[in-house]
């Protein structure tokens, strides 16, 4: 595959800047062709309580924007495994407040395989796509992986699921991630030594442990 039709350019660039440099991960020749202004949102909060509240608020806003009563529209909240239960509870409490009771009941009674609003880990969303995605604590997703190769793969999966909107929510103590706070990829020319620049928004990437 040489053309990325799923992700807006802004989402795919953000994914590339956040990936940890992990030996052995290879992402080949991908050109994101769509552009959607404001398709990436970053939220840094002070503590876990604020994390749950902000995640729930963001998920609720995305649900109002993308999820329809006719069964169309999908969003996912992707988080570390140990946060799935508290995040799901927070999201459901928020939805119960903003949605009509009948619509809320319809959504929470959907089978897991056909949920319009999913709260899950990275394993669940592999191979799937959603209108919008909230990635919660990407640094902890990386830390929880058994190796840096798996960490990079998990983050790549999480951040390349949305077709319209990506929201990142993390705490200030969420380790060093995201990497984009210190390393940026220029839209036209890739500055990382591990990037092979081609055309704008297109590159071949080999992620390694060594930093540029």
Question: Contact, 130 vs 163, CB < 8 A?
Answer: yes
Q: How far apart are CA 27 and CA 196, in angstroms?
A: 11
State how beta strands 195-197 and 3-8 pair.
unpaired
For residue 180, pLDDT over 80 is answered with no
Exposure letters 123-146 (e unless 16+ CB within 10 A, then b): ebbeeeebbbbbbbbbbbbbebbe
* pLDDT digits 0-9 by tens, 126-138: 989 999 999 999 9
| 185 compared with 149, residue with greater pLDDT | 149
Residue 37 pLDDT:
76
Q: Which residue has the tokens 């608020």?
A: 57
Residue 178 pLDDT:
39
| Mean pLDDT for the chain overall | 78
Percentage of the chain modeled with pLDDT above 90 = 49
Question: Contact, 52 vs 169, CB < 8 A?
Answer: no
State how beta strands 195-197 and 202-207 pair.
antiparallel
pTM of the model: 0.75
């Amino acid at each position: 595959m040489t053309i990325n039709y799923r992700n807006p350019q802004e989402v795919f660039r953000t994914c590339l800047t956040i990936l940890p440099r992990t030996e052995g991960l290879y992402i080949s020749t991908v050109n994101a062709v769509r552009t959607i202004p404001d398709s990436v949102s970053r939220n840094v909060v002070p503590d876990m309580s604020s994390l749950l509240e902000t995640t729930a608020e963001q998920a609720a806003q995305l649900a109002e924007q993308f999820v329809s009563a006719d069964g169309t529209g999908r969003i996912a909240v992707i988080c570390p495994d140990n946060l799935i239960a508290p995040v799901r509870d927070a999201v459901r409490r928020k939805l119960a407040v903003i949605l009509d009771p009948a619509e809320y009941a319809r959504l929470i009674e959907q089978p897991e395989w056909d949920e319009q609003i999913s709260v899950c880990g990275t394993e669940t969303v592999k191979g799937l796509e959603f209108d919008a995605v909230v990635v919660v604590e990407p640094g902890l997703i990386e830390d929880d992986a058994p190796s840096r190769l798996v960490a990079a793969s998990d983050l790549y999966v999480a951040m390349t699921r949305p077709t319209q909107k990506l929201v990142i929510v993390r705490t200030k103590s969420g380790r060093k991630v995201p990497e984009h706070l210190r390393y940026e990829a220029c839209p036209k020319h890739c500055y990382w030594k591990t990037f092979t620049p081609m055309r704008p928004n297109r590159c071949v990437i080999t992620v390694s442990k060594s930093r540029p």
